[in-house]
Every structure is written in C-alpha cells, then in structure tokens.
Amino acid sequence: MRADPPGLNRRALLAAPLALAACDRLASARTADGPLAPPLKALAPFPFGATGMTWQLDQPDWVEQTLRHCSQLTPEWEQKMERTLGPGFSYDFEPSDRVVAFAHHNGLRVHGHTVIWYSQGAEVFDDAQLSRARFAAEYDRYITTFVGRYRGRMAGWDVVNEPVAEDGNGLRDCHWSRALGMDGYMVRAFEQAKAADPEAVLFLNEYNLENIPRKGATFLKLVERLLKLGAPIGGIGTQSHLDIEIPAGQITAFMRDAASLGLPIHVSELDFPMQRDGGRMPDLRSTAERRAQQVARVGELAEAFMALPEHQRYAFTTWGLRDTDSWLVRAEGKNRPDESALLLDARGGANPAFHAVAEAFQR
C-alpha cells in the first residue's frame, strides 16, 4: 500500500476536482440524510488530523468539514519533491505555502510531508551524473531551504519516508542510498532538518508496519540503529493503510513494540480499504463482513493508540477526511469510486468505523 499512487502527476491532479465532483454527486445520492458525525477533534485527547490539497481549499464543504473535525492538517501532495523540486535544482513552494497559510489562518497545526522519499527526486538528483560532492551539497541545500522556510511553524516533519523494503527484508536501494550510503542519507537528512527547524518533531515514516510483522520489526530496528548513529529522530510515523483482514492482535503487538522506544507515535495516513488489491482470489465477502472487519481493525488501532502514554500520542491522522476525499477513489489513484475507507461518508456522516474510534477515544 502506498500513500500516493505510482505515476502521480500534475495533470492528473488538476483533473482530480472534476472526477471527485462527479464522485461526490453519486455518493451524495446514495447517502441518506442524517446527523453529521460529532467533531473528532472534540473526541480525541490529542490532535486529530487529515490531509489537504490546494484545490480543496476552494471547496466550501471540504473546508467546513475539515474545520469541524480537525486540529491538524497534513499537505497531501504539495510538499512532495515532485511538486517542490524542478529542473536545475529550482524550487517552487507556492502550493505548499497555500496549504500552510490556510491551516495557520484557521488555527490548525501543520505536519510536514515529506522531505526525503525514495520514489522521488531521481530526475534531478541523478546519482549517475552528479559528483558525490555536488549531490551532497544540493541534498543539504534542499532540506535546509525547504524545512527552514517553515521554521517554527510546523509541529513535525516526515523527514524520511518509506525506507524499508516492501517485504521487510532490509532497506530500499535508491538514488539517496547509492550516493550517500544506506544509513548515511537518513542520518544526514535528520541532521539537516534539525538544524533548519529545531523545535519540530522529526519523524521516520513507513507503511505496512501493522500489516507485515517482519516489516514492522525491521523498521523498529532501523530506528534504534539510526538513533545510535546520532540521528535526531523525534518520532515514529506509522501510516496505517490497514489491511482489514489481518489477524486480531497484530496491530496491538506492533504498537506495543513501537512504544517501547519511548518516542512519540503518529498514526500518520490512516485508511482501511474495503476492496482488496489485485493478485488474490475473487473477493466473496459481503459488505456487512467487510464493514465488520473495518470496525474491528480500526477499533483495535484506536485502542492501541489510546493505550500509549500520553506523551507518546503525537496525533491521529486519516489520509483524507471523507470517503470522497480519499486517493483510493481518484482516477490517478486506485480509481475505486465506490470505495469507503475513511471515518466519514461523503456528506460528513459517521461510517461504521467512526463509532469504534469515538468509543476508543472516550475511554
């Protein structure tokens, strides 16, 4: 599972509002009128967050629901390197500035996402063409410029995103690791980010940590090793793109192991698809069975997060707020217009998993 679809591009994102408008109309037609869900930020004894994109800032319904439910905002795409970095090491932070300004204007704290990601930047940071000295200098300059631009304005940053191999067998080879070393590029990124924004909490962020125990274990060992190497890691980000069919207790076990490191933990990109990805047997589950699986796994996650010591509960963030905000429904994402993988329906009513989360938050 990925936070964003492969091949994400600006043209597709410009088309996204039109696709979602159609999806919104269909979803609204299917959704019975009823009460809006209680504000999540009032139920959670820690920051509750979701993601935002620049085109959503112009949608009154999105703004209304975001301000109703959220105390934190994560830029979904505007701070990714494919948007901020151009040819010849040119920078463009205007869309990022818009999201950050919207959040601050409306009293939301901001979580930065993401500084260094294995899947982006290779077109400009070409490790086969650049000397190591130039590569390192531009690497430092990018982090210092980007993170330093928002010094004192961000609650935290995903400094390094998804460094662990898909199956948990070691770490990903990428342009960053080839030029600066497998651990070296991460230590360097955290050092530069710390110098640029000393008060922000700096996160190592990864997915499938609950879904694949081997990957969770590799990730936590990596955190321990980087800390020993002096990396100023301040927190652990678990994306929590949940496979709702994983065994009961698996989420709790990972959260307990993660908590043992003593760092703040961010549930950073929560969603919980009803539909399986390809490659498995035909999915014969009923809608009721899928909803029950969602409720059980999302409830377990919320309970495990609530069981953390208070100082380790950094924030609880969903990747999109309503079903129609999800990357899973977009044409450039998974293109599943009927997917329902978030806590709120298209209108802002409570999906079944909402109640499990609300109950856990209020214990």
- Both tokens assigned to 226: 């980087």
| Max intra-chain CA distance, the chain | 61
Using CB atoms within 10 Å of the CB of residue 341, give its burial: 0 to 12 exposed, 13 to 18 middle, 19+ buried: buried
Catalytic (active site) residue 78? no
Amino acid at 313: R
* Phi, psi (degrees; rounded to nearest 5) at 80: -75, 150
Q: Are 323 and 341 in contact (CB under 8 A)?
A: yes
- The secondary structure of residue 103, as a DSSP letter, is H
Q: Are 76 and 51 in contact (CB under 8 A)?
A: yes
Which residues neighbour 14 within 8 Å (Cβ) at sequence distance 6 or greater?
A: 55
Catalytic residue among 76, 78, 210, 269: 269
Cβ neighbours, 10 Å, residue 253: 14
From start to end of 6-155, where are the E strands?
A: 48-52, 72-75, 85-86, 90-91, 109-117
Q: Which of 7, 77, 68 is nearest to 39 (CA)?
A: 68
The DSSP bridge partners found for residue 110 are 73
CA distance 62 to 199: 30
From start to end of the chain, where are the E strands?
A: 48-52, 72-75, 85-86, 90-91, 109-117, 156-161, 201-206, 235-238, 265-270, 313-318
Instruction: Please state the separation of Cα 57 from the chain's center in Å.
Output: 19
Catalytic residue among 162, 300, 303, 332: 162
Instruction: Please state the separation of Cα 316 from the chain's center in Å.
Output: 10
Catalytic (active site) residue 162? yes
Q: Which residues are catalytic?
A: 162, 269
